[in-house]
Amino acid sequence: MNLRARIDLAVALAAVVASAGLGLLTWMDREDWHQHLPPRVLALLLIFLLLNRALHRLVRRPAREHSQALRRLALHDSLTGAVNRRGFMDRLAQAQQHQQALLSLVMIDIDHFKRINDRHGHAAGDGVLREVAARLRRQMRCADLLGRLGGEEFALLLPATDLAGALAQAELARQALRREPMAIAGTVTASFGVAQWDGSESAADWLHRADLALYEAKRRGRDQVSLSGART
C-alpha cells in the first residue's frame, strides 16, 4: 500500500471516530447518560487509542521512512549509487568535527573519459561510470565512503587511515580498474591523488591538496597514484 492509500485509509478511520464521537454527544443529551458513562467513555477512549495506533502504522511511520528515503536520494548519485558531492562534503565535515586523528582522502579521475564518450557514446560512458564505482566499492572497507564529486571524478574518504595506508588502498583500487578490460570500453584506467588530513586544515584546503596530487599523477602520465606532501 502506497503512502497516498495509507493516508486515505487513515482519513476514513478518522471519519469513523468522528461519527462515533457525534453519536456519543447525542447520547449524552439523554437524561440517563450518567448511568452508562464509564463503559461508553472507555469504549470511546479505546477507539481513539486504536485510531492513534493505526495512524502511526499507516501514516506517521511510512511518512518518516519516505522522508528518510528522499534524503538518501538527495545525497546519492542515481547513476553510480555513490554519495554525491553534497553528501560527501557533509560526511567529510562530520569526520573532521569528530577530530579523528587519522583521516585520508583519495581523489580519483578516470583517464581519457571524454575519449570514451566520443568513441563509444554517452550510454557507454555511463556504463563505465557505473562499473568504475562498482570496482572501487569492492576494494573498500566497511567504514570507507565513496563519493562521485562530478563528471568522471570520484573520491574516497578513508577513516583511521594514515598516508601509507591510503596509498595502499589507492593502489589496490588502481589495479582493480585496469586489471580486467570492460566489455563496453576496453581497459579503463584512472589517476589518484592521496592526502592525509593534518588535523586542522579546512575541508577545502584538504581537497585542494588531494587535487594537486591528482594533477601530478595526470602530469606524470596517468594510471598512477601520487601523494600530497604536508601543508605549507
- Residues known to be catalytic: 152
In contact, 160 and 74? CB cutoff 8 Å: no
DSSP state of 183: T
Q: What angle do CA 141, 147, 148 make, to 5 degrees?
A: 140
What is the grid cell recorded at 229? 606532501
Taking every pair of Cα atoms in the chain, the longest distance, rounded to a whole number of angstroms, is 96
State how far the alpha carbon of 207 is from the alpha carbons of 54, 195, 214, 224, in Å.
49, 8, 10, 18
State how far the alpha carbon of 110 is from the alpha carbons of 30, 51, 115, 191, 224, in Å.
81, 55, 11, 6, 11
How would you list the strands of the sheet with 190-196, edge to edge?
145-150, 153-159, 103-110, 190-196, 225-227
Q: Which residue's C-alpha cell is 502504522?
A: 57
Instruction: Render the burial of 1-31: b for 16+ CB within 10 Å, e for the rest.
Output: eeeeebeeebeebeeebeeeeeebeeeeeee
